[in-house]
Amino acid sequence: MKFKMKLIVFVVAAIACLCPMASSAQDIKLSDHTISFHGFVTQGGIFTSGNNWLTMNTNGGSGAFTEMGLNVSTKLTDKLRISAQVYDHNVGQLGQWHPTLDFAMLDYKFKPWLSVRLGKVKTTLGLFTDTQDLDFLHAFALMPQGIYPIDVRDANIAHLGGDIYGTISLGRKRGSLSYTGWGGHNYASIYSGYPYFLQARGTQELRYDGTQYGGDLRWQTPLKGLLVGASRMNEDLSGFGIRLGGPNLEQSKKDYTNQFYGEYTWRNLIVDAEAKRFYRNHLIRNLTSEDSTNVHAWYVSGSYRFNKWVQVGSYYSHYTITSTFLALTDTSTPAGHDYDKVVSGRVDFNRYLNIKIEGHFMDGYGFGPYPNGFYPQQNPVFANSTRALVLLSSFNF
């Protein structure tokens, strides 16, 4: 019944959004400054055969997939800009309607090659970490989950600290280099995938945060449309919670992410590829045990826009995981990998509303402490493969 109600809301909202809008953003004048407001709402439905997915009971169909955000920005001077975004979501058991501040930052441009951002700043990691909240920019309903898992979106999207960034021209025949160096503190939500995974093992996480720093370097090559780059992130995280009625601590010994990527754009064709290595060595269970988690992931994707209404795309996402604590060492087993073949179609009814239809054909379920969508709470017995149909409506202004 709940799913049917969600589906009704989904359809009604989609029809309502077809109404003409006056502008793509809401602007107001305050003194000599223009303040711009943008927002988005997405509503999805997921049907699966095999495993339940993304903490939802998707084998019977679930509409428990809602995201929304509102951001505001203004230029105080020609060089100084301020912006902020509030975000809320409920994806199965994730989010649970606890609003968060995605970012709130000052951005000052000294020169094209030297700028700074301060506050809660979006993290530049790979091609899309800092734009993964902008669904209307992407061809796919769900980005490749091996690289951009929705389960841990909140832990990756921003840090409290600062960036130094800029773009350096290398000349007409050498392209340009863009760099970002950043550091600060990361606060992960207790309503995200990792704390939810721990609940199945008797731990209630109350806090999970720590130092985070890294950098990104990308080269806009002389070949028109070709971008290549690399990112690195280091973390020193600690967690506190309750396990079996007593206090529970965990602490990083070593925690890092390496990411390499490329993108080629030619007319209406976009081809992306990324590779990621995530390594985490943690003291867990009140610092009495140790776990080394190793994730290797990569994907190749392509999308083509036929016209202003229709875009199609496909990707292959390859994800493997090992964990010493879980005695997970063989990535050829279904628990050690998730290979996802995806086909997707997008229809843009107007500049504000799009609907995406997407099919996922997954081999394995990649079970482990770096969440990848599959949890024992919804899957007492795991199936070796999963098929999924994703419907997503997105409205933005």
d(CA 102, CA 110) in angstroms, rounded, equals: 25
> Do the beta carbons of residue 105 and residue 111 sit within 8 Å?
no
How much of the chain, in percent, has pLDDT values that exceed 90? Answer: 83
d(CA 107, CA 162) in angstroms, rounded, equals: 10
Please tell me the chain's helix, strand, coil percentages from 3-state DSSP, rounded to the nearest 5. Answer: 10, 60, 30
**What is residue 136's predicted lDDT score, i.e. its pLDDT?**
83
Rounded (10°) CA dihedral 202, 277, 123, 253: 50
- In this model, does residue 345 exceed pLDDT 60? yes
Considering only residues 246 and 21, tell me which one the structure prediction assigns the higher pLDDT.
Answer: 246
**What is residue 26's predicted lDDT score, i.e. its pLDDT?**
72
Backbone dihedral region for residue 156 (phi beyond 0: left; psi -120 to 50: alpha; all else: beta) = alpha
- In this model, does residue 333 exceed pLDDT 80? yes
List, in sequence order, the alpha helices (H) in 85-142.
Answer: none
3-class SS of residue 229: strand
Query: Which residue carries 């495993």 as its tokens?
Result: 51
Average pLDDT over residues 92-100: 93
Q: How far, in Å, are 118, 131, 262 from residue 127 at the CA level?
A: 21, 8, 8
> Do the beta carbons of residue 167 and residue 178 sit within 8 Å?
yes
Q: How far, in Å, are 8, 57, 375 from residue 344 at the CA level?
A: 23, 22, 25
| C-alpha 276: how far from chain center | 14
The residues near 135 (Cβ < 8 Å, ≥ 6 apart) are 40, 42, 67, 392, 394, 396
> Do the beta carbons of residue 259 and residue 275 sit within 8 Å?
yes
> Do the beta carbons of residue 219 and residue 229 sit within 8 Å?
yes
Domain count, the chain: 1
Look at the pTM and tell me if it is higher than 0.85: yes
| Residue 50, domain CATH | 2.40.160.10
**What is residue 258's predicted lDDT score, i.e. its pLDDT?**
98
How much of the chain, in percent, has pLDDT values that exceed 70? Answer: 93
Boundaries of domain holding 202: 2-396
Across the chain, how many H-helices and E-strands are there?
3, 17
Considering only residues 300 and 28, tell me which one the structure prediction assigns the higher pLDDT.
Answer: 300
- Enter the DSSP assignment of 99: -
pLDDT tens, position by position, 29-64: 777 778 999 999 999 999 999 999 999 999 999 999
- Name the band, by pLDDT with cuts 50, 70 and 90, for residue 130: confident
Backbone dihedral region for residue 51 (phi beyond 0: left; psi -120 to 50: alpha; all else: beta) = beta
How big is the CA angle at 372 (ends 386 and 300), to the nearest 5 degrees?
80
Average pLDDT score, the chain: 91
d(CA 166, CA 258) in angstroms, rounded, equals: 21
d(CA 367, CA 326) in angstroms, rounded, equals: 10
pLDDT tens, position by position, 367-396: 988 888 999 999 999 999 999 999 999 999
